[in-house]
Structure 1
Amino acid sequence: MHRYREFLTSLGWTALILAVFVTGQTIPLPNVDLTTAEAALKHVTFLRLFGKVTGSDFSNQTLFSVGMGPFMSAMIIWQAVQAIGDEAISNLSPRQVSFGKYGITLLLAIAQSFQLVYLTRGSLQTFYLAGTDIDITFVGTMLILIAGALFVAWLANMNAAIGIGSSVALIIPGIVRGIPNNLIHGFGDAETVTLKINATTLTVAIVVGAIFLLFSVITNAAELRLPIERPMLDREHSNSYLPIKVLTSAGMPFMFSSSLFMLPRYFVNQTVGPTTPAQHFITTWFSYRTPQGVLMYTIVLLLLNYAFGYINLQPTRQAKSLKESDDYLLGTYPGDATEAAIMQHFNRLTFISSIITLIIGVGPLLVGLFWPVAANYSLYLGSLMILAGMTIGVADQIHGLITKNRYQIFD
Structure 2
Amino acid sequence: MRLRKKPKKDTLINFFVPKFLWTMFILITYMIGSAIPIPLGGTMAEAKSNYVLQLASNATGGDISNLTLLSLGLGPWMSSMIIWQVLVMIKPLGLGSLSERESGYLRNILILFLSIVQSIGIVLSFKMNVDYETKVGVVIMLIAGGFFTVWLAYLNAAKGVGGSMLIMLFKMITGVEQQLGETFKMLSKISNGKWIMVLVALAILILVIMSVIMERSEYRIPVTRVMINNDLNKDSYIPIKVNNGGGMAIMFAMSLFMIVNYLLQIIAHHFPVGFLKTFAKGVSMYSFAGATLYVIVLFALAIMFGFVNIDAGQIAEGLRNSGDYIKNVKPGKDTKRYLTKYVAFFSIVGSIYITLVAGGPLYIGAIQPKYAKVVMIPGIAMMCFGMIFNVQEQIRAAKSLYSYKKWIK
What TM-score does the superposition give when structure 1 sets the normalisation length?
Answer: 0.76
| Structure 1 residue 7 displacement after superposition | 1.5
My pick for the range that moved more, 170-179 or 141-150, is 141-150
Deviations 1:50-70 (A, max 9, x none): 312100112221111112222
Match of 2:64 among 58, 61, 76: 58
- Residue 114 of structure 2: aligned partner: 108
Amino acid at match of 1:205: V
Match of 1:302 among 295, 299, 303: 299
Amino acid at match of 1:255: M
- Residue 396 of structure 2: aligned partner: 399
Residue 60 of structure 1 aligns to a residue whose secondary structure is: coil
Q: 1:316 to 1:43 in 2, by over 3 A?
A: farther
Question: Using the alignment, how far apart are the partners of 1:33 and 1:302 within structure 2?
Answer: 45
| Structure 1 residue 344 displacement after superposition | 1.3
Match of 1:18 among 20, 23, 27: 27
My pick for the range that moved more, 68-77 or 321-330, is 321-330
| Structure 1 residue 30 displacement after superposition | 2.4
Residue 222 of structure 2 aligns to a residue whose secondary structure is: strand
- Residue 339 of structure 1: aligned partner: 336
Q: 1:401 to 1:259 in 2, by over 3 A?
A: closer
My pick for the range that moved more, 171-180 or 206-215, is 206-215
- Residue 189 of structure 1: aligned partner: none
- Residue 221 of structure 2: aligned partner: 226
Deviations 1:325-368 (A, max 9, x none): 55544433344333322221122113322332243135545667
My pick for the range that moved more, 321-330 or 4-13, is 321-330
> Any residues of structure 2 matched to 1:339-378 within 5 Å, and which?
339-364=336-361, 377-378=374-375
Deviations 1:213-261 (A, max 9, x none): 1210110121222233445x45467763332221121123433545766
| Structure 1 residue 316 displacement after superposition | 4.1
- Residue 130 of structure 1: aligned partner: none
- Residue 251 of structure 1: aligned partner: 247
Q: 1:366 to 1:69 in 2, by over 3 A?
A: closer
Q: 1:410 to 1:59 in 2, by over 3 A?
A: farther
| Structure 1 residue 49 displacement after superposition | 4.2
Amino acid at match of 2:242: V
Residue 309 of structure 1 aligns to a residue whose secondary structure is: helix
- Residue 203 of structure 2: aligned partner: 208
| Structure 1 residue 185 displacement after superposition | 7.1
Question: Using the alignment, how far apart are the partners of 1:145 and 1:410 within structure 2?
Answer: 50
Whether the aligned pair in 1 keeps the contact of 2:73 and 2:146 (CA below 8 Å) is yes
Q: For this pair of structures, how many residues does the alignment match?
A: 386
Match of 1:6 among 9, 15, 34: 15
| Structure 1 residue 159 displacement after superposition | 0.7
- Residue 191 of structure 1: aligned partner: none
Amino acid at match of 1:252: M
The percentage of aligned residue pairs carrying the same residue is 31
Deviations 1:119-153 (A, max 9, x none): 55844467xxxxxxxx5x44433332222222211
| Structure 1 residue 107 displacement after superposition | 3.5
- Residue 311 of structure 1: aligned partner: 308
What TM-score does the superposition give when structure 2 sets the normalisation length?
Answer: 0.76
Question: Using the alignment, how far apart are the partners of 1:304 and 1:250 within structure 2?
Answer: 10
Q: Which runs of 5+ in 2 are unaligned?
A: 1-8
Whether the aligned pair in 2 keeps the contact of 1:226 and 1:243 (CA below 8 Å) is yes
- Residue 241 of structure 1: aligned partner: 237
Question: Using the alignment, how far apart are the partners of 1:57 and 1:319 within structure 2?
Answer: 43
My pick for the range that moved more, 315-324 or 1-10, is 315-324
Residue 171 of structure 1 aligns to a residue whose secondary structure is: helix
Q: 1:316 to 1:58 in 2, by over 3 A?
A: farther
Deviations 1:2-28 (A, max 9, x none): 432212221111011000011101111
- Residue 178 of structure 1: aligned partner: 175
- Residue 146 of structure 2: aligned partner: 149
Residue 331 of structure 1 aligns to a residue whose secondary structure is: coil
Question: Using the alignment, how far apart are the partners of 1:375 and 1:122 within structure 2?
Answer: 25
- Residue 158 of structure 2: aligned partner: 161
Note the aligned Cα RMSD (angstroms).
4.0
Q: 1:162 to 1:298 in 2, by over 3 A?
A: closer
Residue 303 of structure 2 aligns to a residue whose secondary structure is: helix
Question: Using the alignment, how far apart are the partners of 2:244 and 2:359 within structure 1?
Answer: 19
Residue 355 of structure 1 aligns to a residue whose secondary structure is: helix
Amino acid at match of 1:29: I
My pick for the range that moved more, 256-265 or 108-117, is 256-265
Amino acid at match of 1:113: S
Whether the aligned pair in 2 keeps the contact of 1:286 and 1:296 (CA below 8 Å) is no
Amino acid at match of 1:251: G
Question: Using the alignment, how far apart are the partners of 1:343 and 1:57 within structure 2?
Answer: 39
| Structure 1 residue 299 displacement after superposition | 3.2
Amino acid at match of 2:171: G
Whether the aligned pair in 2 keeps the contact of 1:182 and 1:376 (CA below 8 Å) is yes
Q: 1:315 to 1:48 in 2, by over 3 A?
A: farther
Amino acid at match of 2:16: F
Residue 376 of structure 2 aligns to a residue whose secondary structure is: helix
Q: 1:83 to 1:397 in 2, by over 3 A?
A: farther
Q: Which runs of 5+ in 1 are unaligned?
A: 127-134, 187-193
- Residue 4 of structure 2: aligned partner: none
Whether the aligned pair in 1 keeps the contact of 2:43 and 2:130 (CA below 8 Å) is no
Amino acid at match of 2:114: L
